[in-house]
Amino acid sequence: MKFLHLSCLSLLASFVSSESTFSPARPPAIPLAVKSPYLSTWQAAGGEGGNGGYLVGQWPTFWAGAIIGWTGLIRVDGQAYTWMGAPDNHPTPVNQTDFTYTSTQSIFTMDVGGKVTMKITFLSPVTPEDEKRMSMPFSYMVVDVLSRDGKPHNVQLYTDVSGEWASGDRNQVLQWEQGSHNNTAYHKFYRQNQKEFAEDNQQAAWGNWYYSTADTQGLSYQSGIDTNVRTQFTKNGLLQNIKDAKFRAINDGYPVFGFAKDLGTIYWRPVQTVFTISLAQKNAIQFTNSPGNAEKLPSLWTSYFSDELDALAWFFADKNNVATACTALDTKVEGDSRAAAGQNYATLTTLAVRQAWGALCLAGTTATKYLFLKEISSDGDIQTVDVIFPFFPILMYMNPKLMKLMLDPLYINQNAKVEPPTVTYAIHDLGYYPNALGFPNPNSPPEEQPLEECGNMLIMTLAYAQKTSDVDYLRQNYALLNQWTGFLVNESLYPQNQISTDDFAGPLPNQTNLAVKGIIAIQAMAKIANMTGHTADGASYTKTAQSYIEKWQTLGINHNANPPHTTLNYGHDDTWGNLYNIYADSLLETQLVPKAVYQMQSDYYPQVIGKYGLPLDTRHPWIKSDWALFSAAVASDDTRDKIISSVAIWVDETPIGAPTVDWYDTNGDWPTKGGHFIARPVLGGWFSLLALNQTGIPNHN
C-alpha cells in the first residue's frame, strides 16, 4: 500500500516541491537512530509537529521533542543541496521521491536536481539472539549515491551532528576531540561535567558520543560554529581538518561535528558511505540487589571490548554482517505478520519493532546480566511491571529467553526484601530509570497496582517457562509466586477499589477485566504448581480458579443486553469494557475462560469500535492500542481485522507528529501532543497474535 500525502505539501513550500510516496505507510514519526532510551532520534512526520514525512526541511528530535541537530548536504557538479535537517540559509532541498520502512530500517530516496539519486538508510540493528550487538546503543546511516541521468557527476557528501545529542540542557558545556582508530575516523563529544545515572530533560547526562565514518582518502573533517562549517563545505566541497579550540555550551555558537567525503566522479555504480552515531557509557544502570547495596552495572557491551574505541571500530566494520541479519529479521516479521492477519497488521508490527526495542538496555557482565526497560514518557520508571506486560509479546515472538533477564531484577529485589516487608503483593516498578534502587524507604513506597502486578508477574513467568522449558525458574521463585497467588485468592474475585494499569481512568471497585486477570493468574499458578511437583497446590488453585470463573460470569456479564457483553464493573449493566486480559488465557493455554466468552466479546466489539480503534470502556472514547491488539489476537477473524485496520488508519492519519502514541482518542478528538504517552515500548503488544501458538478464538469450551 502506498499513501500520498498531498495535503501536507503546502506547509513545506520552502523545502519541498515534489511529493513522496510512503510505504507501507507514513508513520507518526520516522525512527532515525533508535536503539536505547538515550539514543532515540526521530523525524516527526504526521500531524502536529510533523512535516509530512520528509527528511529535509525539519530538524530531527529526541523522543521527548527537543531538536537533535543532524544535517546532510551534497554537492553535485559544484552545486549544493540539502538532504537532511533544516540548517539556516540552507541550499536547495533535494526532492524526496519515496520513503519506506521495515522493522529495522528507514529508507529515503532522493532526486537531486535530476542528476543523481541518493538512498539514505537509517539502520538501528535489532538482534534478538545476539546480546553483543543488542547491547550497543549505536546506529548506522548509510548513504548510496549514483547517477540518475546516465551521465557522470562530480559529487561531495557532507554531514554533521550538533552538541544537542550530548545533553538535554543546552547550557551544558561540551568538550570534543577528533581522531581515528583502526580505520574509523571519529568526532567524540561529551558533557564536560559528567553526571553518571542522571538525565537532563530525559537525555543522558553522562557518556561519550561518537560520530564516525571510514577513514579513507577524500575524507575531511571540521568542528566549529554550525553555519561556518556548513558554509565551508557548500563553497569548497571539503572541510579544513581543524578542531574548534573553544569548548563551550551546546547553544553558544552551536558547535557541530562535520565530515565531508569527496566521492569523485560517480556513475552507474552506487557509491556507498557509512556513518555511525554512538553513545558509549561505561556504566549504564544502578541496581540495588540486596538491602543497602546499590551496584553500578556496566553497559553489557563493555564485556566484549577492551575499550570504547575498539567497540566503535568493530561496530563500524560490522555493518554488512548486521545489515544482512536485520534484513532477514525484517523479512520474517513482515511475512509472519501478513500470514497472520494481512498487510495492515504488517504495517503495525514493522513500525513497532524499533520503538519497542528502543526502550531497553542490557547491563551487567556476560556472567550476570539484566535487560532493563524504561517506561518512556509516562513516568520514566524502570522495570514497570504493567509496562513490561504489554511489551512482552514481542519478546515471546522474537526471543522468549530474554524475558528472564527482564524479570530477574524484579525477583532479586523482592526475594531479597529490598522493600520493608509490609506488602504481600507484587511491586509495581524498581525506581526511576536508570536507577533501579527499589523503595527501601517506607515513607516513599512505589505506585500500587496490587492485583494487576500479581497477575502480570504470574502470567509472564509461566509464559517464559512454557516457551523456554525453564522449569527451574519456577522452582527458584516458587515462594514469591505462591505468595502472590495467595493475594489473588483473597482479592481477585471482588477487586477492591483500586486503579488498573489504565490508571488515567482512575480507581474503580469490582473491575470485570481486572478480576479476570487475577483469576487466570490463579490458574497459571495451578499450572506452575503442577509443573514443579506441588500437586496439592495445583489441585487447590485449579479448584479455586474454576469456581471463581463461574462466579465471574454471573458478576461481570450483562446477559440481557443485545448483544450481550462483559461490563466495566460488576452490577453496572449499562457499561462495557475491552476484556483484553483474556489474552493471557490463550497465550498460556490455561483453558479457563469459556469459548463462549471469547465469542461474545468478539461479536460485541464491532458495535463500539471507533474510527481509530477499539476504546477501553464506557468512560471515554480513549483507546490503548496495545490492549486493542490483545483483544484482536483472540477475536474472530472479522473482528480482528476491524480492530487492526482501524489502528492502522490511525497510524496513517494521526494528528500527533511524535513517536507513536499508544493512548489516544478513537474519534480523533485529542489532536495535540500534550498529555499523550509517546514512544513507549508497549507497542511490543502489537505482536500479540504472533506470540500465540495458534491465532484466533481457542478451540475449547
Stretch that binds ligand NAG, among 290-298, 513-521, 525-533, 557-565 (CB under 6 A): 525-533
User: How far is the C-alpha of 422 from the C-alpha of 622, rounded, in Å?
Assistant: 35
Would you say 196 or 215 has its CB closer to ligand NAG? 215
Contacts of 13 by beta carbon, 8 Å cutoff, 6+ apart: none
What single string gives the DSSP state of each residue in 561-610? SSS-EE-SBTT-TT--B--GGGHHHHHHT---S-HHHHHHHHHHGGGT-B
Which cell goes with 609? 469500535
Stretch that binds ligand NAG, among 56-64, 89-97, 172-180, 325-333 (CB under 6 A): 89-97
Would you say 94 or 407 has its CB closer to ligand NAG? 94
Among 331, 366, 441, 497, binds ligand NAG (CB under 6 A): 497
571 binds ligand NAG (CB under 6 A): yes
Shortest separation between residue 449's beta carbon and ligand NAG, angstroms:
15
670 binds ligand NAG (CB under 6 A): no
Among 151, 539, 550, 607, binds ligand NAG (CB under 6 A): 539
* Contacts to ligand NAG from residues 425-444, by CB under 6 A: none
Shortest separation between residue 305's beta carbon and ligand NAG, angstroms:
8
Would you say 455 or 657 has its CB closer to ligand NAG? 455
81 binds ligand NAG (CB under 6 A): yes
Q: Directed axis angle between helix 512-531 and helix 478-491, to 10°?
A: 140
Contacts of 384 by beta carbon, 8 Å cutoff, 6+ apart: 373, 375, 428, 429
Q: Where are the beta strands (DSSP E) in 506-574?
A: 557-558, 565-566
* Contacts to ligand NAG from residues 226-245, by CB under 6 A: none
Among 276, 414, 523, 625, binds ligand NAG (CB under 6 A): 523
Would you say 398 or 623 has its CB closer to ligand NAG? 398
Report how many residues bind ligand NAG under the rule CB under 6 A.
Answer: 40
Handedness of CA 526, 528, 531, 535 (dihedral sign): negative
Among 182, 368, 441, 667, binds ligand NAG (CB under 6 A): 182
Would you say 363 or 489 has its CB closer to ligand NAG? 489
- Do 348 and 641 contact (CB within 8 A), yes or no? no
526 binds ligand NAG (CB under 6 A): yes
Q: Taking the chain, what is the end-to-end CA distance rounded to the nearest angstrom? A: 39
- Do 461 and 454 contact (CB within 8 A), yes or no? no
Would you say 28 or 538 has its CB closer to ligand NAG? 538
Which residues lie across from 620 on neighbouring strands?
617
Shortest separation between residue 464's beta carbon and ligand NAG, angstroms:
10
Shortest separation between residue 312's beta carbon and ligand NAG, angstroms:
9
Q: Are β-strands 255-266 and 116-123 bridged in parallel, bridged antiparallel, or unpaired?
A: unpaired
Would you say 549 or 648 has its CB closer to ligand NAG? 549
Window 291-320: contact mask with ligand NAG (x via CB under 6 A): -------------------x--xx--x---
User: Residue 323's CB: how many other CB atoms inside 10 A?
Assistant: 18
For 211, phi and psi rounded to 5 degrees?
Answer: -115, 125
Burial category of 660 from C-beta neighbours within 10 Å (exposed 0-12, middle 13-18, buried 19 and up): buried
Shortest separation between residue 528's beta carbon and ligand NAG, angstroms:
9
Place of cell 559529487: 155
Which cell goes with 268? 552507474
Would you say 534 or 680 has its CB closer to ligand NAG? 534
* Contacts to ligand NAG from residues 461-490, by CB under 6 A: 466-467, 483, 486-487, 490
Q: Return the closest-CA partner of residue 633 out of 675, 684, 592, 676.
A: 684
Burial category of 444 from C-beta neighbours within 10 Å (exposed 0-12, middle 13-18, buried 19 and up): exposed
Contacts of 600 by beta carbon, 8 Å cutoff, 6+ apart: 557, 563, 564, 565, 566
570 binds ligand NAG (CB under 6 A): yes
Would you say 6 or 245 has its CB closer to ligand NAG? 6
Which cell goes with 518? 487475577
Would you say 221 or 314 has its CB closer to ligand NAG? 314
Shortest separation between residue 410's beta carbon and ligand NAG, angstroms:
17
Shortest separation between residue 177's beta carbon and ligand NAG, angstroms:
19
Shortest separation between residue 435's beta carbon and ligand NAG, angstroms:
29
User: How far is the C-alpha of 422 from the C-alpha of 245, rounded, in Å?
Assistant: 58
User: How far is the C-alpha of 426 from the C-alpha of 518, rounded, in Å?
Assistant: 12
Q: Where are the beta strands (DSSP E) in 369-446?
A: 369-373, 435-436
Shortest separation between residue 558's beta carbon and ligand NAG, angstroms:
13
* Contacts to ligand NAG from residues 92-111, by CB under 6 A: 92, 94-95, 111
Which cell goes with 254? 552551536
Q: Return the closest-CA partner of residue 495 out of 510, 505, 480, 474.
A: 510
Would you say 589 or 603 has its CB closer to ligand NAG? 589
198 binds ligand NAG (CB under 6 A): no
Q: Return the closest-CA partner of residue 390 out of 697, 36, 680.
A: 680
Interacting residues toward ligand NAG by CB under 6 A? 17-18, 81, 92, 94-95, 111-114, 182, 310, 313-314, 317, 424, 466-467, 483, 486-487, 490, 494, 497, 509-510, 523, 526-527, 530, 535, 538-539, 542, 555, 570-571, 588-589, 693
